[in-house]
Amino acid sequence: MAGKPTYEQLEQRVKGLEKEAFELRQTEEALRESARRLEVAYDQAIIYAQQLKEEIAERKRAEEALQKARDELEERVEERTAELSRTNVLSKREIAEHRQAEEALRDSEVRLKTVLDTIQAGIVVIDPATHIIVGVNAAAGKMVGASGEQILGSVCHKYICPEEEGQCPVTDRGQNLDNAEVVLLTAGGKRVPILKTVVPVILSGREHLLESFLDITERKRAEEALRESEKRMEILTFANDLALKLMHELRNPLAAIGGFSKLISSKHYPEEKLKEYTRIILEQSLRLENALNEVLIHLKVGDGQV
């Protein structure tokens, strides 16, 4: 039979139990702390899960919005690409048409210059506001006696118009020059008679003056020669008429003077007859003298001395 435990053994057992109780309390506290932490962690997990759910939903909405934006962007890009393609086609067409128009304009300008240069009349284009020559053909340069490069950009008073500045017949005095006989001022200062016409034209959206003129020097010479010829014909006609009149006026007096002179010299007549014949001869002589004086007066008038 076993004996009773000793005091030391009991005391040792009590300490062992107290230690176990202390360790149990620590274990319980540790478990309670773990339970509390688990509860907090669970609550945090729930909150995190809710936040994650909201984030997922927000991300999904964002992704949907992004996809919608991408779709709209792609649609806009397609529309813009199609528009740019149409614009590109139109631009290419416009460029081609513009190039064709430019080529047609250049061809037209070349043809116009060729036509203008083949025209024998001088043609210049003038800016009415500044009176600067902006166009000239070959015939005008030849008449003026200067090259087109020298004439272009010059004021018209320097070359083609002898009027003073501010006295332009068209823009300042309002004259209508339509086949008007005026003078052309050449580069050497010579004045050439011309037949000029000035008409307003619209070039490049602006009003200009188109002047065309012909050198009428030869015509003036021909007219002067014709006037001289007519004057000589008038003189010849006058001389012929005067000669006929003189012959008519001299024939009778000369015949009378000659006849009576022969009578007096061939026979012996009474004194009364001689006086009568002498009187007749004297009268016819005076008539002859008057006729000669009248002819002399006509000659002086015809010669411009009276």
- Residue 306 pLDDT: 43
Mean pLDDT (the chain) is 76
- Residue 104 pLDDT: 67
pLDDT digits (tens, 9 = 90+) for 267-298: 666 667 767 777 777 777 777 777 777 766 76
pLDDT digits (tens, 9 = 90+) for 202-240: 877 788 888 888 888 888 888 888 888 788 777 777 666
Is 274 inside any structural domain?
A: yes
In angstroms, rounded to a whole number, what is the distance separating the alpha carbons of residues 103 and 191? 41
Is 3 inside any structural domain?
A: no
Residue 282, domain CATH: 1.10.287.130
The answer, as to whether pTM is greater than 0.75, is: no
Residue with tokens 């500045």: 165
Is 114 inside any structural domain?
A: no
User: Are residues 211 and 227 both part of a single domain?
Assistant: no
Residue 128, domain CATH: 3.30.450.20
User: Are residues 168 and 78 both part of a single domain?
Assistant: no
Is 141 inside any structural domain?
A: yes
| Among the listed residues 185, 176, 179, the one whose alpha carbon sits nearest the alpha carbon of residue 146 | 185
User: Are residues 87 and 129 both part of a single domain?
Assistant: no
Is 185 inside any structural domain?
A: yes
Residue 2 has pLDDT above 60, yes or no: no
User: Are residues 102 and 181 both part of a single domain?
Assistant: no
User: Are residues 287 and 234 both part of a single domain?
Assistant: yes
Domain boundaries, position 291:
222-302
Is 2 inside any structural domain?
A: no
User: Are residues 181 and 131 both part of a single domain?
Assistant: yes
pLDDT digits (tens, 9 = 90+) for 58-87: 888 888 888 888 888 888 888 888 887 787
User: Are residues 12 and 93 both part of a single domain?
Assistant: yes
Is 250 inside any structural domain?
A: yes
pLDDT digits (tens, 9 = 90+) for 249-262: 666 666 666 666 66
Q: Tell me how many domains the chain contains.
A: 3
Highest mean pLDDT among 35-49, 99-113, 150-164, 233-247: 35-49
| Domain closes at, from 77, 108, 139 | 108
Is 113 inside any structural domain?
A: no
Average pLDDT over residues 145-160: 79
User: Are residues 123 and 197 both part of a single domain?
Assistant: yes
